[in-house]
Structure 1
C-alpha cells in the first residue's frame, strides 16, 4: 500500500478489499470533519482500471468526500459480480476506519459500472440486503444485464421494481461508445414510474466525462487537460457531492 498527500486530498493506494485479494484506492480530504460522506465508484468494462478514475476521484474528494475506487474484472467467470459485491461489503464494514461513513454511502459507476450500481438499488436482496443512499450513473447503459444482479435495470423498472433512492445521471453529448440516449431513456423510465431522478449532459465524449481521453496506442483512458473533459469531470464530482448531501455553496443541479 502507498499513500500521498496533496494540498486538499490524501490518497491511499492498494488497499486489499476482499477475500479475492483485489485492491482499491481511497481518496479523502487531507483535512475535514469525520465521518466524511462516502462514495464507492466503479470503473467500466476494462479489467482492473481503477487508475483511470483517479482524476475524477481526486476532484470529488476535494468536495470533502471519501471516494473508494476498486479494481474489478469484467472478464472473470461471473462477469465481475463477486468482486463488485466484495467492494460493497468492504465499504459497509471498513469505510468508518478510513474516515468515512459506511452506514450511508453513495454508489456510483461509469460505463458498465453505472448499470451495476443501479442494479444494487433495484435488487438489494441480491446484493447484501441494503441499498446505498443514492446512485450516480455516469455514461452508462441500462438495457443490458447488470454485472451485480444479472438483470437489466430497464427491465426491472418495467416490471415495477423501485430503486428506492435518488438516481443521478450524467452523460456526454458527444459519446459515441454509449450514446446519451441510454441515460435519457432511463431518466424517462424513472420519471414515468414516479421515481426521483436528475439528468445532466456535458459537451464531451465517453472518456471525457471522467476527465480522461482515450489513447488508442495504450488502449485505455489517460488523464487529459482538455477543457471540455475537465469541465465534465467537475460536473460529475459536483453531482457526487450533491448525492452525498455535501455540495459546496453555489453548486446546484
Structure 2
C-alpha cells in the first residue's frame, strides 16, 4: 500500500482497483497508515455510491476523512443500469467485505453498511431484509441523502413499505440529509425517521446545512455531470460530520 495524506492531516493508505467478485467490478480501500503496525482490528465501513454508474471515485473525500479517524473504508463501483439495477454487484461487494475485511485489518463483526443517495436505500434494505445477504446484518446503517419510498436496489422492496409491513432493521439507523438538498428533499429522511420512531426503532437524524453533493464533501460539476471534491466550507463541515458518524458507530458508539 502506498501512503497518501488524509483530509484531516493523518496519513491514509490507499489500495485501488481490487476486484471484488464475479462481476469483475472494482473497489478502493482506505485505512489509516498507522494501522500497519497496530494491533487489533479496525471498525469497517462499506460505503456505496449513488445512481451514477461506477462512481466510487466521488466518495474518496469522505472515505479518506473517515479512514483518518481510524476506520477501514471500502468503496466499490456498481452499476445502476445493470439488468438487475445493480443488486448482484452490491451484494458481491458485501460478500467481499465479510470475507476479506479481516485480511485488510478490519473487523467484519463491527461492519457499518453505508450509502449515499440511491446507495442509502440499498444499505437500509439489507438490514430490513437480511435474507438478501445470507441472514447477515451490519452493526449499524448510515444512510445519507436517500429516498426510502422507492424499491431498494438490494431487495426490490421499498424500505418504508417494509417497515409498515413489520420488518425490523434490527440495528441502529443513522440518517444524514442536507437542508439545502434540491435533488432529494430532506423530507424523505424525516419521513423515514418518523416511521422508525413509530416502530420503536433506534435512530438518529442529523441535517447539516449543505446540499446533496455537500453531504459527501463534494460539489456537483455540470460540465462533467459528476460530483467533484470541494473545499467549500459547508461541504467540508458536513463531510466531517458524516465521517465522524461512520467511524464512531463502527467503533461501538450508539
TM-score, normalisation: structure 1: 0.95
Correspondences of 1:110-129 after superposition (within 5 Å): 110-129=116-135
Q: 1:76 aligns with which of 64, 79, 82?
A: 82
Cα distance in 2, alignment partners of residues 55 and 245 from structure 1: 20
CA displacement 1:220-242 (0-9 Å, x = unmatched):
00000000000000000011122
Q: 1:98 aligns with which of 104, 117, 121?
A: 104
Q: 2:248 aligns with which of 236, 242, 246?
A: 242
Cα distance in 2, alignment partners of residues 104 and 86 from structure 1: 19
Alignment root-mean-square deviation, CA: 1.3
CA displacement 1:175-222 (0-9 Å, x = unmatched):
010000000000010011000000001111000110000000000000
| Correspondence for 2:19 | 16
Deviation at 1:246, TM superposition (A): 5.8
Count residues in correspondence.
Answer: 247
Cα distance in 1, alignment partners of residues 109 and 143 from structure 2: 21
Cα distance in 1, alignment partners of residues 247 and 176 from structure 2: 13
Runs of 4+ with >6 A deviation: none
Quick check: 7-16 or 191-200, which moved more? 7-16
Give the 3-state SS of the residue equivalent to 1:172 in structure 2.
Answer: coil
Contact 1:208 1:232 survives alignment (8 Å): yes
Q: 2:217 aligns with which of 200, 211, 221?
A: 211
| Correspondence for 2:46 | 40
Cα distance in 2, alignment partners of residues 91 and 75 from structure 1: 23
Q: 2:30 aligns with which of 18, 27, 31?
A: 27
Cα distance in 2, alignment partners of residues 197 and 208 from structure 1: 22
TM-score, normalisation: structure 2: 0.95
Matched, 1:172 2:171: no
Contact 1:64 1:246 survives alignment (8 Å): no
Contact 2:138 2:171 survives alignment (8 Å): yes
Cα distance in 2, alignment partners of residues 199 and 66 from structure 1: 24
Cα distance in 2, alignment partners of residues 16 and 126 from structure 1: 21
Contact 2:46 2:97 survives alignment (8 Å): yes
Q: 1:223 to 1:246 in 2, by over 3 A?
A: farther
- Structure 2 gaps, min length 5: none
Deviation at 1:3, TM superposition (A): 4.1
Cα distance in 2, alignment partners of residues 131 and 53 from structure 1: 23
